[in-house]
Structure 1
């Protein structure tokens, strides 16, 4: 079972993909995959409904748009420079503790939606990341229990405008939060179906050229540590997303840098979690 949301942007309905590939609407059972769904045992109830044979479920047309697999979260917490090779290409030292920053939740986008190069942008960049979705309220969580708070995993692309991020003062959030800069999907895989989230290959291609090729096991700060660490500084709510960092190969790290431009196609994926694709378009 995988969780999907489908329909027009901002009006998505919840659905699932069964192991046999069928895509079923679950709107008759659940309103959406949001904070309330995860907080009130929605994952368990959904699994029970599937095991009961998905009574009265209707199939989702194959041509319908997929949105992000969870409703817009209360917050998107990102981890910077969490892979050693990326920290080196970033060129600002090796962190001794996790580097945290936020993306505005208005950047939320679907797995195949266009990425808009914002007005004034000229250094648009990509970062494939493993994302986890929090399943229950987490505050000061012990590291040994941290993964018990994870509902599932998905593919995330942390798009950045590097000039906004690094050349305009202040914090990174300015370069991370433009509309469409946070696509996630194509689905959410329940944590129970991912036996080793630290043993997955993740990759990214631009116009067919492999740019990033790494393993989640190369993180300097693993998932247990990240959930525990972040929960020291903020309460994580059900449905919140943590993007856990990216391996080397981003456009900024190349010599000379190779940033994205309108017309480029970005493809990315994580072993066992699915693949996404975005086309870069100019702002209107």
Structure 2
């Protein structure tokens, strides 16, 4: 099942996707344009992977990591489907990152790879914009690169894990103003989902609602104010976002 959170008629509603339509909990059918899309869940601790696809690491002239390169993201960074992300006026290189977002469904500590999927409740799409001008170095990602307000669209749907039988074989695509600019597959991750859950849970407790953003393949290009960016993952839908000028208020 695909579920969402939206604002409609002044109230927050949960909804579901059915035959391409958005059905609210009270049974009303509304169009995508009639609602304000929220993130499909309220993120708790969010872990983001850097350079988790070898082709993307090469694209940025980095060596592929031998251990997961993980950093944290604050709740201020997330915005829903059809939301806006601001491009700072001093940035010369801002690019999207289409990522599979893995949602933890229950408390996880010292989980082994063979049991990892038992702790996954579902998946959604993240577009984790990066502001490369602010990157200090490979080992210490600058907070400004990945933690600006509304820099990470998330959604539109939360998809139950049982509806994605093989999350390690999903196609990812990004379109800028309708043009295909990025294409890859989750099977090319350096560290797959079970490895990431085992790694993270080996030194800290993962909780329900935590999210792991699993990295992006090659094909990241600079985006400009006014661009519409659509990130798509097989089985999860399409996440749309618009780039605006200036810093967010």
Q: Structure 2 length normalisation: TM-score?
A: 0.90
Which residue of the other structure, out of 141, 157, 181, is the alignment partner of 2:127? 157
Q: Does 2:120 match 1:144?
A: no
Gap change, CA 1:12 and 1:241, over 3 Å in 2: farther
Which residue of the other structure, out of 192, 195, 209, is the alignment partner of 1:239? 209
Aligned to 1:270: 233
- Report the CA distance between 1:220 and its aligned residue: 1.2
Unpaired runs of 5+ residues, structure 1, are: 27-56, 252-258
Bigger Rg, which one: 1
Aligned to 1:52: none
By relative contact order (CA 8 Å, sep 6+), the higher-ranking structure is 2
Partner SS for 2:135? helix
Is the contact made by 1:104 and 1:173 (CA closer than 8 Å) also made in structure 2? no
- Report the CA distance between 1:157 and its aligned residue: 0.5
- CA RMSD, Structure 1 to Structure 2 (Å): 2.0
Is the contact made by 2:23 and 2:30 (CA closer than 8 Å) also made in structure 1? no
| Distance (whole Å) between structure 2 residues aligned to residue 25 and residue 268 of structure 1 | 24
Aligned to 2:175: 205
- Report the CA distance between 1:280 and its aligned residue: 0.5
Q: Deviations over 1:27-52 (max 9, x none)?
A: xxxxxxxxxxxxxxxxxxxxxxxxxx
- Report the CA distance between 1:60 and its aligned residue: 4.5
Greater alpha carbon shift after TM alignment, 99-108 vs 184-193: 99-108
- Report the CA distance between 1:174 and its aligned residue: 2.1
- Report the CA distance between 1:184 and its aligned residue: 1.0
Which residue of the other structure, out of 210, 222, 237, is the alignment partner of 2:192? 222
Is the contact made by 1:125 and 1:159 (CA closer than 8 Å) also made in structure 2? yes
- Report the CA distance between 1:114 and its aligned residue: 1.1
Gap change, CA 1:104 and 1:242, over 3 Å in 2: same
Q: Deviations over 1:91-138 (max 9, x none)?
A: 121211111111222101102101111353332111101111110111
- Report the CA distance between 1:17 and its aligned residue: 2.1
Name the structure where helix makes up a greater proportion of residues: 1
Is the contact made by 1:101 and 1:173 (CA closer than 8 Å) also made in structure 2? no
Is the contact made by 2:24 and 2:30 (CA closer than 8 Å) also made in structure 1? no
Q: How does 1:109-188 map to 2 (within 5 A)?
A: 109-166=79-136, 170-188=140-158
| Distance (whole Å) between structure 2 residues aligned to residue 123 and residue 176 of structure 1 | 13
Q: How does 1:37-56 map to 2 (within 5 A)?
A: none
| Distance (whole Å) between structure 2 residues aligned to residue 234 and residue 128 of structure 1 | 26
Is the contact made by 2:156 and 2:238 (CA closer than 8 Å) also made in structure 1? yes
Aligned to 1:64: 35
Is the contact made by 1:22 and 1:59 (CA closer than 8 Å) also made in structure 2? no
Is the contact made by 2:88 and 2:245 (CA closer than 8 Å) also made in structure 1? yes
Name the structure where strand makes up a greater proportion of residues: 2
Unpaired runs of 5+ residues, structure 2, are: none
Gap change, CA 1:223 and 1:264, over 3 Å in 2: same
Q: Structure 1 length normalisation: TM-score?
A: 0.80
Partner SS for 1:198? coil
Is the contact made by 2:98 and 2:232 (CA closer than 8 Å) also made in structure 1? yes
